[in-house]
Chains A and B, each alone.
Chain A
Amino acid sequence: MMNKLIFGRYIPGDSIIHKLDPRAKLVASFYFIGVIFIANTWQSYLFAGLFTLGCVLLSKISLGFFLRGVRPLIWLILFTVALQMFFTTGGVVYWSWWIFTLTQYGVMNGIFIFCRFILIIFMSTLLTLTTAPLELSDAIEYLLRPLKVLHFPVHEISLMLSIALRFVPTLMDETEKIMNAQRARGVDFGEGNLIQKMKAVIPLLIPLFVSSFNRAEDLATAMEARGYNGGEGRTKYRKLDWHLRDTLTIVVFAVFTVGLVLLRK
């Protein structure tokens, strides 16, 4: 079950993308998501597609991996695309039945939305596949720092984030263990009707919650015992380094934006 979850996973590697500063990657991929909405012609989507493909190839991770990342979302994408296709009016009408119409603009919009989805998923998968979770949380902490002026608890949020990320695999293991233990006691997960399925989750959820509470208590005690008392006056062990290649990444994305704007109609 867990094996199929590609989204949000990290694959260690030593490609240029892996080596980039996580801040650069995070900013770049958010920027990409915003900027992709500029594209409105097939030329611009082709350009964006090639650009994304270039980034993916640079990461040296097989393309199949990204495609598998798309798979769980495919129904959502197709649903949205279908809505766009059949309910947008304008241009030449190809086909019409009851409240559904298939028009020139509708088809175009549908295809664009499909491309947008795929590109955004590829880019964000690229981010998570090439960036270790802890790097990501460091980057988020750094980028949120200006919010301190507004008394936003940046340190607490980033601490929670890194603890949460650290415990995702542990919790996954735990889930699997408890599932196995309950299956050995005769529970069928994912079988029967909806109500039976929901009932089968209880013997999994309660032990998970209980063990999370216990774990939180142990962790808090261990942290206090090691002298943790809040964010004030702490130093950092992991320091982020901004290199020339990170600046270059930002420049490349700026050039990409210019390209998109030029290809716009």
Chain B
Amino acid sequence: MDIRFEQVGFTYQPNSPFETRALFDIDLEVKEGSYTALVGHTGSGKSTLLQHLNALLKPTAGLVKIGERTITPETDNKNLKPIRKKVGIVFQFPEAQLFEETVAKDIAFGPKNFGATDEEAVKLAARYLELVGLDESYLERSPFELSGGQMRRVAIAGVLAMEPEVLVLDEPTAGLDPQGRKEMMEMFWRLHKEQQMTIVLVTHLMDDVANFADYVYVLEKGRVIKCGTPQTVFEDVGWVEEKQIGVPTATAFAEKLVQKGLTFDHLPLTAEELADQLVAMGGLSHDE
């Protein structure tokens, strides 16, 4: 299922003294099966934009096409559930959305809202709890007695259990330890690779963008200021640094090597690429 934004604008609290414009003329496309990253500073409109992906917000100008459905400013709020079933959003700090007595019930909550029977929902809960890395002994525990990281996993399992076609992640690893961060990102990567799940990732971590994304949108003050593959976006290291969105660690290191006189045939974004290219150079053969 593709998602397309055409000239989307969004204004908070229009026609009031609190009116603020958050998005301007956004053209954006999330292709089926892609891994799209949205980057930009705090307040650049990323979170506003991602709420358009499943019609939690409707554009105040332009239109959003989500699969077959077209959302315009005039669309009414009825009958949006099918969209929300297809586009699952994991919000920032999703552990805040847990409320049921047991982990199993909480994960089953989403599927049940979309019409799954109790039996199916419980099965889904068990399956997705395992997928996020918790064993079934957690099923009957209260979500509130878990650690922060475990609560995060349960919350994510709750969204995955809806079996969405598109998974939107708003800084899913913020506040997690390095190990948890790695496990989490690898789990999303597996979903993307094995089940061809479309993923939209909002992040400040350029290493994640370099490692996983196949397309990047850079936002600034509610506008898309650059888009393309990670390769093209990070190519102009000077520009990226000027915009202060950060460069992947491997790229930053490669830049330093370039200053020392090394040349790469293309800009390495990940540690593997960097290592491969260094090996291909036949060891460090430049004159000391």
Interface of A toward B, CB cutoff 8 Å: 3, 11, 62, 65, 174, 177-178, 180-188, 202-203, 206-207, 210-211
Q: Does B13 contact A (CB under 8 A)?
A: yes
- A3, A177, A186: the one contacting B91 at CB < 8 Å is A177
Q: Does B98 contact A (CB under 8 A)?
A: yes
Besides the known contacts A180-B89, A207-B99, 14 further A-B residue pairs in the complex with CB atoms under 8 A apart: A3-B13, A65-B17, A177-B91, A181-B89, A181-B94, A182-B97, A183-B56, A184-B91, A185-B97, A185-B110, A185-B162, A186-B81, A187-B113, A188-B81
Name the residue on B nearest A3 (C-beta).
Answer: B13
Q: Does B96 contact A (CB under 8 A)?
A: yes
Q: Does B51 contact A (CB under 8 A)?
A: yes
Given the complex of chains A and B, what is the CA–CA distance between A201 and B72 in angstroms?
28
| Chain A to chain B: the 8 pairs with minimum beta-carbon distance, closest first | A186-B113, A206-B99, A181-B97, A185-B110, A184-B89, A181-B91, A3-B13, A203-B99
Contacts of A210 in B (CB 8 A): 99, 144
Given the complex of chains A and B, what is the CA–CA distance between A182 and B98 in angstroms?
9
Contacts of A62 in B (CB 8 A): 17
Q: Is the CB of A184 within 8 A of B56?
A: yes
Contacts of B158 in A (CB 8 A): 185
Knowing A11-B17, A186-B85, A188-B81 touch, does A180 contact B56 (C-beta < 8 A)? Answer: yes
- A11, A185, A187, A211: the one contacting B96 at CB < 8 Å is A211
Q: Does B109 contact A (CB under 8 A)?
A: yes
Contacts of B91 in A (CB 8 A): 177, 180-181, 184
Contacts of B144 in A (CB 8 A): 210
Name the residue on B nearest A61 (C-beta).
Answer: B17
Knowing A186-B114, A188-B81 touch, does A181 contact B96 (C-beta < 8 A)? Answer: yes
Q: Does B159 contact A (CB under 8 A)?
A: yes
Q: Is the CB of A186 within 8 A of B99?
A: no
A-B contacts, 26 listed (Cβ < 8 Å): A11-B17, A177-B91, A178-B96, A180-B51, A180-B91, A181-B89, A181-B97, A182-B97, A184-B56, A184-B89, A184-B91, A185-B84, A185-B97, A185-B109, A185-B159, A186-B81, A186-B85, A186-B113, A186-B114, A186-B162, A187-B113, A202-B99, A207-B97, A207-B98, A210-B144, A211-B96
Shortest Cβ distance from residue A103 to the other chain B in the assembled complex, whole angstroms: 42
Given the complex of chains A and B, what is the CA–CA distance between A210 and B56 in angstroms?
24
Name the residue on B nearest A9 (C-beta).
Answer: B18
Q: Does B222 contact A (CB under 8 A)?
A: no
- B16, B17, B110: the one contacting A186 at CB < 8 Å is B110
Interface centre among A185, A207, A211 (most CB of B within 10 A): A185
Q: Is the CB of A186 within 8 A of B97?
A: no
Q: Is the CB of A177 within 8 A of B96?
A: yes
Contacts of A206 in B (CB 8 A): 99
- B16, B17, B54, B99: the one contacting A184 at CB < 8 Å is B54
Knowing A177-B91, A181-B91, A203-B109 touch, does A186 contact B84 (C-beta < 8 A)? Answer: yes
Q: Does B88 contact A (CB under 8 A)?
A: yes
Contacts of B89 in A (CB 8 A): 180-181, 184
Name the residue on B nearest A206 (C-beta).
Answer: B99
Q: Is the CB of A183 within 8 A of B99?
A: no
Given the complex of chains A and B, what is the CA–CA distance between A203 and B114 in angstroms?
15
Given the complex of chains A and B, what is the CA–CA distance between A202 and B99 in angstroms?
8
Given the complex of chains A and B, what is the CA–CA distance between A185 and B83 in angstroms?
11
Given the complex of chains A and B, what is the CA–CA distance between A187 and B99 in angstroms?
13
Q: Is the CB of A184 within 8 A of B159?
A: yes
Shortest Cβ distance from residue B102 to the other chain A in the assembled complex, whole angstroms: 13
Contacts of B97 in A (CB 8 A): 178, 181-182, 185, 203, 207
Knowing A3-B16, A203-B109, A210-B144 touch, does A184 contact B84 (C-beta < 8 A)? Answer: yes
Knowing A11-B17, A207-B98 touch, does A185 contact B113 (C-beta < 8 A)? Answer: yes
Given the complex of chains A and B, what is the CA–CA distance between A178 and B99 in angstroms?
11
Shortest Cβ distance from residue B38 to the other chain A in the assembled complex, whole angstroms: 17
Contacts of A181 in B (CB 8 A): 89, 91, 94, 96-97
Contacts of A203 in B (CB 8 A): 97, 99, 109
Name the residue on B nearest A210 (C-beta).
Answer: B144
Interface string of B144-177 (1 = CB under 8 A from A): 1000000000000011001000000000000000
Contacts of A202 in B (CB 8 A): 99
Name the residue on A nearest B168 (C-beta).
Answer: A184
